[in-house]
Amino acid sequence: MSDTISIQSRMRDYAVYFRDNVAADIESACGERAFFVIDSHVWKLYGNLFSGMPEERVVVMEPTEENKSLDKSKELIECLVEKRIRKNNALVAVGGGITQDVTAFTASVLYRGIEWKFVPTTLLAQGDSCIGSKTSINLGMNKNLVGNFYPPSAVFIDLNFLSSLELRDIQSGMGEMMHFFVYAGSPYLEKMVGHYKELIADRSKLREYIRESLLIKKSVAEVDEYDKGERNKFNYGHTFGHALEAISNYELRHGQAVTVGMDLANYIATNYGMMDRDTFGTLHNLLKVNIPQYDYRGINMDAYLKALSKDKKNLGNDLVCILAERPGRLVKHRMAMDDRFQALVREYFQGVMN
């Protein structure tokens, strides 16, 4: 199995390298005089391993959604300029999707764009967000409202980082990977569920799943990098998931909410006659393995429906989302959030999930 995946991008091609102990030779991997933006938890856990990372070129960042902001990016720019970063120095993000988004966005605007590299340390970042070029910043309560497309110049995946991840962050990464597997009709969905406990116990075994997930994302991002058509289908599970993530006040992690979002999307597709009941049952039994414990019955339906109605992809009063007919066949769908729709959402959270 090759240790590298190459990615073509409109701005620059780059590669994803699978490496062991990347912390030990971070400076040679990332280039001389690189600057590092590192997740504060990762710094605490692994700081001593980054032997070649000089403290005067390190910025430690708290990875919160509040910090995925224009203010944080401005603060980071001021700090880097103070530290005398130059146009030819690379910025290296070390952490999960939050650290990635802030660093990549900052790199895209500083000096009109400097090189950035990424050492993803969460499963979600390794199996999904590290490729595809998107940078996203929140604006107040509006998630991912500001951003652009700005690919890294290299990504280094080291699975050793996964050993310290909380279970909910492993489930979050698995949820994101599952949505790629459903998109592609990949046998890895069943395989992941079949080996679920084993993968959580020994995270080094996730490698082939991360690879499969990235290969699926690559196949689409390379032809529709700017998300004008086919890539929209990766929103499967996300419209319903984002609303849940938001009303849970981010108690549910992104990919955990996406798992529930896929199941709800399938429930709606089934009741609208787009998915047959057997397919729903098969997928429900697979997805439920990754559905987190949560008080679904206690969900405030008005708040949930309001959050859905605010989705940035909506047209007029209609919800625009991706539904699956079956694994490997996803379609964009526009529907009224009428009484029937609202009753189905209620029924799902109060019946199917319990």
Ligand X SMILES: NC(=O)c1ccc[n+]([C@@H]2O[C@H](COP(=O)([O-])OP(=O)(O)OC[C@H]3O[C@@H](n4cnc5c(N)ncnc54)[C@H](O)[C@@H]3O)[C@@H](O)[C@H]2O)c1
Please, what is the minimum distance in Å from the beta carbon of residue 250 to ligand X?
9
Q: Which residue's CB is nearer to ligand X, number 162 or number 274?
A: 162
- What is the spatial distance between Cα 229 and Cα 224, in angstroms, rounded to a whole number? 7
Identified binder of ligand X from the candidate list 95, 152, 175, 241, rule CB under 6 A = 95
Binding mask 240-259 for ligand X (x = CB under 6 A): -------------xx-----
337, 319 contact by CB (below 8 A):
yes
Q: Which of residues 35-54 bind ligand X (CB under 6 A)?
A: 39, 41-42, 45
Q: Which residue's CB is nearer to ligand X, number 119 or number 269?
A: 119
- What is the spatial distance between Cα 324 and Cα 101, in angstroms, rounded to a whole number? 28
Handedness of CA 276, 281, 286, 289 (dihedral sign): positive
Q: Which residue's CB is nearer to ligand X, number 171 or number 270?
A: 171
Q: Which residue's CB is nearer to ligand X, number 124 or number 220?
A: 124
Among the residue ranges 132-140, 217-225, 278-286, 322-330, the one whose residues contact ligand X (CB under 6 A): 132-140
Q: Which residue's CB is nearer to ligand X, number 100 or number 213?
A: 100
CA dihedral of residues 204, 209, 210, 212 (deg, nearest 10): 150
Q: Which residue's CB is nearer to ligand X, number 110 or number 155?
A: 155
99 binds ligand X (CB under 6 A): yes
- What is the spatial distance between Cα 115 and Cα 120, in angstroms, rounded to a whole number? 16
Nearest to 334, CA basis, from 310, 312, 317, 349:
317
125 binds ligand X (CB under 6 A): yes
Q: Which residue's CB is nearer to ligand X, number 269 or number 308?
A: 308
178, 324 contact by CB (below 8 A):
no
Total residues at interface with ligand X (CB under 6 A)? 31
144 binds ligand X (CB under 6 A): yes
Q: Which of residues 151-180 bind ligand X (CB under 6 A)?
A: 161, 164-165, 169, 172
Identified binder of ligand X from the candidate list 18, 36, 63, 116, rule CB under 6 A = 63
- What is the spatial distance between Cα 89 and Cα 275, in angstroms, rounded to a whole number? 51
> Which residue matches tokens 């970042």?
125
Listed in sequence order, the residues at least 6 apart from 347 whose beta carbon sits closer than 8 Å to its beta carbon are none
173, 128 contact by CB (below 8 A):
yes
Tokens representing 59 are 């910025």
Please, what is the minimum distance in Å from the beta carbon of residue 341 to ligand X?
26
Listed in sequence order, the residues at least 6 apart from 316 whose beta carbon sits closer than 8 Å to its beta carbon are none
96 binds ligand X (CB under 6 A): yes
Among the residue ranges 71-79, 122-130, 198-206, 271-279, the one whose residues contact ligand X (CB under 6 A): 122-130
Torsion angles phi and psi, residue 6, rounded to 5: -95, 140
In the complex, the residues that contact ligand X under the rule CB under 6 A are 39, 41-42, 45, 63, 65, 68, 95-101, 121-122, 124-125, 128-129, 132, 134, 136, 144, 161, 164-165, 169, 172, 253-254
